[in-house]
Amino acid sequence: MTERRPIGRFRFMDEQRVNLDGFAVENPSLGLIAFNSPSDPEPSLVIEAGHVVEMDSRRVEDFDILDSFIAAHGINLAVATEAMALDSVAFARMVVDPNVPRAEVVRLAGGMTPSKLARAIAELRPAELVIAMTKCRARRTPSNQAHVTNRSDDPLLLAADAATAAAFGFREIETTVPVLGDAPSNAIAVSIGAAVGSPGILIQCSVEEAIELDLGMRGLVSYAETVSLYGTEQIFIDGDDTPWSKAFLTSAYASRGIKMRVTSGGGAEALMGSAEGCSMFYLEARCVALARAIGSQGVQNGGIDSASVAGSVPGGVRSLMAENLMVMLRNLEACTGNDALMSESDVRRTSRTHPIFIGGSDFICSGFGSIQRYDNMFGPSQWNSEDIDDFLAMQRDWGVDGGLRTASEPEVERLRRRAAQDVRDVYALLGLGDFSEAWLEEA
């Protein structure tokens, strides 16, 4: 018996790029659920003699390492009684009400446990999330972060591309390496190129944490964001980490004036096989509370490397935006993902970004690939240099500030040449390498 072929219309539909994506049936036991898993704890907070003795239906003697740290450092006990008594729907309405100041909702959110805040924000619909994001972001003006890398760690090309990214309006630039030993070289090249393009651009070289901290201590980079947090104790243990070690690392960066944010994101715990049956959104609420507790300046979340996992379940993309909002409500700078490619579908990846683009977050993309996809050593981004004109057109269409600026070809050519020349001169002065005129022209 021959296998039945789908009818022509369905064969055509099956060939579309969206069908390259993975989609999952909800499975709470594996953590494959966006909101409201049966295993998510009921919100609760009991304070005795100025100390938390119960949080989110768990007594102090049963606290794991995340509970212990959040209870000790992540909740404003002065407003906790008032905040926890609020009905979740009532607080959700306050978040979107233009007559309730941002400062008031931030004050109340500071007294909420992870489960309480997650329950409240889960009430918001997509249009309400857009309104809430516009109201609650920490920065006055939205911005974007760029990826600047290349396959050969070519310092002249890195500098030229960094200057180009700065010219197009990116305010942070993140680089990484295919070869670990090139990290200091890449940091220097990108720092010089960015400074040529625009003053005040912050630079990160994303590598192993000890090396990245060393680069910061030497003044070769000016921010870090790859300090990872997770929503369950087991994953911390698997990574030989604790909230205390993350807090120490955060303090080390801060001691030298290095801007520092942590990275988390819905779906990470399910991806690593230790979600403890909880929803992605609740686990991310724990991460965001922990970020506040350890003293981080901000959070990069919105799925990040696990965005496709969150996007595979119903409501998952909405949960990614909602977790960005939780960061803002904890009064932290929100770097809202849209970096790792979530979908092979142009329509779907635009759908994932567009509400955040309209609402405007602190950093709409925490890794816009300002270079071409093949040169991105982080892997393809949600948005790449092939999409810059589309992104600028979207800003024009909607009359919003999406963080990018137009740049003329003569000006970009001038900046690229100057950046490459400056790096060539620095490398020659330091005895790090001699680059020919032909090499410079290639950059």
Domain boundaries along the sequence of the chain: 45-124, 143-410
**What pLDDT sits at residue 112?**
99
Catalytic residue among 366, 381, 382, 421: 366
Per-residue pLDDT tens for 95-126?
A: 999 999 999 999 999 999 999 999 999 999 99
**What pLDDT sits at residue 201?**
97
Catalytic residue among 147, 204, 264, 370: 147
Query: Is 339 noted as a catalytic residue in this protein?
Result: yes
200: left (phi over 0), alpha (psi -120 to 50) or beta: left
Catalytic residue among 154, 284, 339, 422: 339
Catalytic residue among 225, 233, 241, 387: 225
- In this prediction, the residues of the chain whose per-residue pLDDT falls under 70 are 1
Query: Is 296 noted as a catalytic residue in this protein?
Result: no
Q: What homologous superfamily does CATH list for 143-410?
A: Diol/glycerol dehydratase, large subunit (3.20.20.350)
**What pLDDT sits at residue 185?**
96
**What pLDDT sits at residue 1?**
58
Per-residue pLDDT tens for 240-279?
A: 899 999 999 999 999 999 999 999 999 999 999 999 999 9
**What pLDDT sits at residue 5?**
87
- CB 65, CB 236: distance < 8 Å: yes
Query: Is 16 noted as a catalytic residue in this protein?
Result: no
Q: How many residues does the chain have?
A: 443
Query: Is 225 noted as a catalytic residue in this protein?
Result: yes
| pTM of structure | 0.95
Task: Dihedral sign for Cα 101, 105, 110, 111, please.
Answer: positive
Catalytic residue among 174, 241, 269, 333: 174
Query: Is 204 noted as a catalytic residue in this protein?
Result: no
**What pLDDT sits at residue 136?**
98
The Cα 268–Cα 302 span in angstroms is 11
Catalytic residue among 115, 300, 381, 382: 300
**What pLDDT sits at residue 138?**
94
